[in-house]
Amino acid sequence: MAIISSKQQPIEPDPKPKQRRESKDDRKTPKASPKLDLLQPTATSDETDKLEEGLRPQRFADYIGQKDLKTVLEIAIKAAKGRGETMDHLLLYGPPGLGKTTMALILAAEMGTTCKITAAPSLERPRDIVGLLVSLKPGEILFIDEIHRLTRMAEELLYPAMEDFRVEIAIGKGQSARTRSLPLSPFTLVGATTRVGSLTSPLRDRFGLIHRLHFYEPEELTEIVLRSADLLKTPIDREGAEEIAGRSRGTPRIANRLLKRVRDYTQVKNLGKIDRKIADEALEVFNVDPRGLDWTDRKVLSVMIDNFKGGPVGIETIASATGEDVQTIEEVYEPYLMQIGFMLRTPRGRMVTPAAWQHMGYK
């Protein structure tokens, strides 16, 4: 069970390993100091958290975009504080990269509490979810990512926890089995999902606040790029930020990623301040065109145009022709192509629109 708390935890020393008898060879060979073992096969959670936390806004005043959601949450927070209660449970849904985790962390900061972060796939066994619920402190926020992937058992354990702040556990087996109710500290559950339709009605109806996160406007993404560049100490002008924002697919996560790639390009080429021309050159190197399409997006469109005259063509045929699997095309590439009007989904199959023909350079 993976749990991350927004409160920094002290680093505990590793337990001493079991000692064994030293052989003559061991006495002759000098032992390497553990301090010199600097190589790690993967980034630790602290390292990844620092990279992400550096660009995350900490308060609503710093959060750009999602005005409707901010207004609703600010009212809910003030009302809960005025009554001295915890805020209603919150369900956030929408495409990935729009700031669901960031919103939960800001909510905890505004409420003056901490936030425990976990993912639904890590809550496989009943004791995982029970142990997590019992450990919550009064007023604390529990953030569950991909909440639609909760097991049936974990979901049923959440029902009384969300409504009555208690959890039912079974003790013993057979005829001696009995049920015990454990009281829980009042808490706020924040669930995040990219598939709100996959949630069962009983779980969805227990959230007092349900809100969708929308794609960001180019102006909002421009402000996000400028803010991130300032935090990264990367010189950039507004036109350069607009160029990056225009290729970010309406998603802050992509905008920050592209900014870092442009920063790397500028640093290596020693080009100085990022402007529109430098941003365009850098993003062309990384195969991101002015509409935010990458190599695979253009491959899907070109295959449909060259091999099938723009369609209609079945999704399995597209997958076979491009070498991608069906699920990747349906969940990663197709939604954005449909969003910008480059692809249509019809009963006969997928079709390329005239706008896509023009963008790809076909007449």
Catalytic pick among 101, 113, 222, 266? 101
275 is catalytic: no
Q: How far apart are alpha carbons 112 and 81 in whole angstroms?
A: 10
DSSP string, 112-169: TS-EEEEEGGG--SHHHHHHHHHTPPTT-EEEEETGGG--HHHHHHHHHHHHHSEEEE
Q: How far apart are alpha carbons 310 and 302 in whole angstroms?
A: 9
- The H or E element containing residue 24 is helix 24-28
325 is catalytic: no
- Tell me, what's the pLDDT at 37? 41
- Tell me, what's the pLDDT at 51? 47
Unique residue bearing structure tokens 């450990």? 135
42 is catalytic: no
- Tell me, what's the pLDDT at 30? 47
What secondary structure letter does DSSP report for 176?
G
- Tell me, what's the pLDDT at 1? 53
Beta bridge partners of 346: 349
> Do residues 144 and 192 touch, judged by C-beta distance below 8 A?
yes
Is 200 assigned to a binding site? no
Is 7 assigned to a binding site? no
Catalytic pick among 100, 116, 204, 263? 100
253 is catalytic: yes
Burial class (CB in 10 A: 0-12, 13-18, 19+), 194: middle
Catalytic pick among 145, 275, 280, 297? 145
Is 206 assigned to a binding site? yes
101 is catalytic: yes
Closest CA to 133 of 103, 104, 169: 169
Closest CA to 249 of 279, 285, 291: 291
What is the Cα gyration radius of the chain?
A: 25
Catalytic pick among 49, 149, 151, 194? 194
Is 56 assigned to a binding site? yes
Q: How far apart are alpha carbons 305 and 290 in whole angstroms?
A: 20
Is 216 assigned to a binding site? yes
- 349-352 and 343-346 strand pairing: antiparallel
- Tell me, what's the pLDDT at 262? 94
How many other CB atoms sit within 10 Å of the CB of residue 172?
10
Is 102 assigned to a binding site? yes
The SS3 call for residue 179 is strand
Q: How far apart are alpha carbons 97 and 82 in whole angstroms?
A: 32
Q: How far apart are alpha carbons 156 and 158 in whole angstroms?
A: 5
> pLDDT 10s digit of each residue in the chain, 363 long?
555 555 555 545 554 544 555 554 454 444 444 444 433 333 333 433 454 457 888 888 889 989 999 999 999 999 999 998 899 999 999 988 898 999 999 999 999 999 999 999 888 888 888 888 999 999 999 999 999 999 888 888 899 999 999 888 777 676 666 777 888 999 999 999 988 888 999 999 999 999 999 999 999 999 999 999 999 999 999 999 999 999 999 899 999 999 999 999 999 988 889 999 999 999 999 989 888 898 988 999 999 998 888 879 998 998 888 888 888 888 888 888 898 889 999 888 899 999 989 888 886
- The H or E element containing residue 75 is helix 67-83
- The H or E element containing residue 3 is strand 3-5
Buried b (16+ CB within 10 A) or exposed e, 316-346: ebbbebbebeeeebeeebbebbeebebbbee
> Do residues 64 and 227 touch, judged by C-beta distance below 8 A?
yes
Catalytic pick among 116, 247, 253, 263? 253
Buried b (16+ CB within 10 A) or exposed e, 36-55: eeeeeeeeeeeeebeeeeeb
> Do residues 140 and 112 touch, judged by C-beta distance below 8 A?
no
- pTM, to two decimals: 0.78
- Tell me, what's the pLDDT at 296? 87
- Tell me, what's the pLDDT at 339? 86
Closest CA to 303 of 257, 347, 343, 259: 343
Is 230 assigned to a binding site? no
